[in-house]
Amino acid sequence: MHSQLKGRGLYVITDGPRPDLFEVVALALAGGARLLQYRDKTTDQARRLTEARAIRALCAARKVPLIVNDDVPLALAAGAAGVHLGEDDGDIAAARAVLGPEAIIGVSCYDSADRAHQLAAAGADYLAFGAFFPSPTKPHARRASFDLLRQTAALGLPRVAIGGITPDNGGSLIDAGADYLAVVSAVFGDPDVRGAAARFTQLFTTH
């Protein structure tokens, strides 16, 4: 188990370019987020690097690992703790060769226990499953069943649930075995970002 992934908690994922990005990231961290992913699907590399570096500093002040979505060179250049890789984002060995043995490499397993087994054997540091509920951010995301969390417990890696998670439905995923709840819209789409993050954080004390 990666030393920075031994806990449980809220994993917030940014929602693309926005003028108040740094403010909302700071509020999500103040609300107790335990992992933060910089996810920006644009191609403006200069802005992406500037933002990822600034967010890394915000995360460092709270001792929260920064994960960069999709982009291994950006993770390296920004000094991030790691990278998140989906099925189109390259393989774990290539990312590990660039980022080193201490990097957190998280992977999407979607709705597949087989993929989880394969990627655990290939050296993933966490396994993400979902979408568990209809996702406003990714409406066409594949759907996963709660059973998948129960089936993958024996792999011994942190399991992340994603997709349409809210403070109302998140507890059921924790009960099914999720270590982290990965959330975009229910935190960054809420007018009270800090309060929303705090409600998710509270779930981990009651479940």
Ligand X SMILES: Cc1ncsc1CCOP(=O)(O)O
Ligand Y SMILES: Cc1ncc(COP(=O)(O)OP(=O)(O)O)c(N)n1
Which residues of the chain form contacts with Mg ion (CB under 5 A)?
70, 86, 89
Residues 65, 35: contact at Cβ < 8 Å?
A: yes
Cβ proximity to Mg ion, 36 vs 196, nearer residue:
36
Phi, psi of 162, deg, nearest 5: -145, 155
Active site residue 145: no
**What minimum distance in Å lies between the beta carbon of 175 and ligand Y?**
19
- Identify any residues that bridge with 130 across adjacent strands, giving them in sequence order: 162
Is there binding between residue 193 and ligand Y (CB under 6 A)?
Answer: no
Active site residue 56: no
Per annotation, catalytic residue among 56, 108, 159, 199:
108
Encoded amino acid at 167, one letter: P
Residues 96, 72: contact at Cβ < 8 Å?
A: no
Cβ proximity to ligand Y, 71 vs 190, nearer residue:
71
160 contacts which partner out of ligand X, ligand Y, Mg ion, none, CB within 5 to 8 A by kind?
A: ligand Y
Residues 150, 177: contact at Cβ < 8 Å?
A: yes
Is there binding between residue 14 and ligand Y (CB under 6 A)?
Answer: no
159 contacts which partner out of ligand Y, Mg ion, ligand X, none, CB within 5 to 8 A by kind?
A: none
Give, in degrees to the nearest 5, the angle at Cα 169 between 36 and 22.
25
* CA distance readout (Å), 193 to 30, 88, 154, 189: 9, 31, 34, 8
Q: Compute and round to an integer the Cα radius of gyration of the chain.
A: 15
CA distance 60 to 143: 33
Neighbouring CB atoms inside 10 A of 26's CB total 18
Site string for ligand Y, 134-173 (x = CB under 6 A): --------------------------x-x-----------
Active site residue 39: yes
Enter the tokens of residue 98: 């660039």
Per annotation, catalytic residue among 62, 138, 143, 194:
138
| Candidate list 14, 108, 135, 152; residue touching ligand Y; CB under 6 A | 108
**What minimum distance in Å lies between the beta carbon of 103 and ligand Y?**
15
Cβ proximity to Mg ion, 106 vs 158, nearer residue:
106
Which residues does the annotation place in the binding site? 37-41, 69-70, 89, 108, 135-138, 164, 184-185
Residues that bind ligand Y (CB under 6 A): 13, 37, 39, 69-70, 84, 86, 89, 106, 108, 128, 160, 162, 182
